Amino acid sequence: MTRELRDHYAETFRRHGPSPLGVDWRGLPDLELRYRKMLEVIPAGRRHRPTVLDVGCGFGGLYAYALDQGLDLRYTGIDVVPEMITHARATLPSGEFRCEDVFELPPGSRYDYVVCNGILTQKLTTSTRDMDRHAQRLIRRLHELSTVGAVFNVMTSKVDYTKDNLYHRHPAELLAWCMAEVTDRVRVDHAYPLYEYSVYLYREGVE
């Protein structure tokens, strides 16, 4: 799955460069809405400069958006597409960008917040059953890496039609799985005008 995603996004970036199409999104308004939803995992009025891990950071679009919004983050972005990481390092020197797989991070790696935008919306040619297993493994990993909260997005199944290359999952089913297997401190946002939803996972005892 990781290899297929790497090859897919390397090709979209080669063809379209640092743009919404370069990460296989439809347009800038949709992309910025997704950025806003990812950054909502960080509460307003926080008292310290949080550490953030961006899993599948692409060319650094989310970090650039955060900087434009005046957010002060200790940011690390990881991606498996070397060309995207090279671009991000050259254009966003205040962030840390690494070509790395989330499952291969050093033991003990921890961040206040972990965001994962668009990685669980695509399944490409992977079967739904295999994608379910991959998604559950990745969701557990996102939560494991966070000390406060994590967020990811998934295509909703509450639509008139689905696409074979996208990962559609029923929000109630995924919510139930997260609460049973990961944490019961979960929030689901299915209210914004895209065919997806965002899931926020928080640590026990964190206010």
Pairing of strands 111-116, 146-156: parallel
- The contacts of residue 161 (CB under 8 Å, 6+ apart) are none
Question: Does 85 map to a domain?
Answer: yes
- What pLDDT does residue 2 have? 87
Question: Does 99 map to a domain?
Answer: yes
User: Using CA atoms, how far apart are residues 55 and 111, in angstroms rounded to an integer?
Assistant: 12
Question: Does 207 map to a domain?
Answer: no
Stretch 72-99: mean pLDDT, rounded?
A: 97
- What pLDDT does residue 206 have? 62
pLDDT category at 67 given cuts 50, 70, 90 is very high
Question: Does 101 map to a domain?
Answer: yes
Residue 45, judged by CB atoms within 10 A of its CB (0-12, 13-18, 19+), counts as exposed
- Among residues 157, 179, 180, 177, which one has the least CA distance to residue 169? 157
Overall pTM surpassing 0.85 (yes/no): yes
pLDDT in tens, 3-49: 999 999 999 999 999 998 999 987 888 999 999 999 999 998 776 89
Question: Does 61 map to a domain?
Answer: yes
What is the pLDDT of the chain when averaged over all its residues?
Answer: 95
Is the predicted pLDDT of residue 152 greater than 80, yes or no? Answer: yes
Three-state DSSP string of 91-131: HCCCCEEEECCHHHCCCCCCEEEEEECCCCCECCCCCHHHH
Residue type, position 62, single letter: L
For a pLDDT cut of 90, what percent of the chain falls above it? 88
Question: Does 25 map to a domain?
Answer: yes
Q: Which residue has the tokens 């650039």?
A: 64
Q: What is the CATH number of the domain that holds 21?
A: 3.40.50.150
- The contacts of residue 70 (CB under 8 Å, 6+ apart) are none
- What pLDDT does residue 207 have? 55
Cβ(200)–Cβ(114) below 8 Å: no
- What pLDDT does residue 205 have? 63
Stretch 144-169: mean pLDDT, rounded?
A: 96
pLDDT in tens, 105-133: 999 999 999 999 999 999 999 999 999 99
- What pLDDT does residue 188 have? 98
Q: Containing domain of residue 124, as a range?
A: 2-41+48-202
- What pLDDT does residue 191 have? 97
- What pLDDT does residue 151 have? 98
- What pLDDT does residue 204 have? 76
How many domains does the structure of the chain reveal? 1
pLDDT category at 179 given cuts 50, 70, 90 is very high
User: Using CA atoms, how far apart are residues 14 and 22, in angstroms rounded to an integer?
Assistant: 7
Question: Does 189 map to a domain?
Answer: yes
Element (H or E) spanning 186, and its range? strand 186-189
Question: Does 121 map to a domain?
Answer: yes
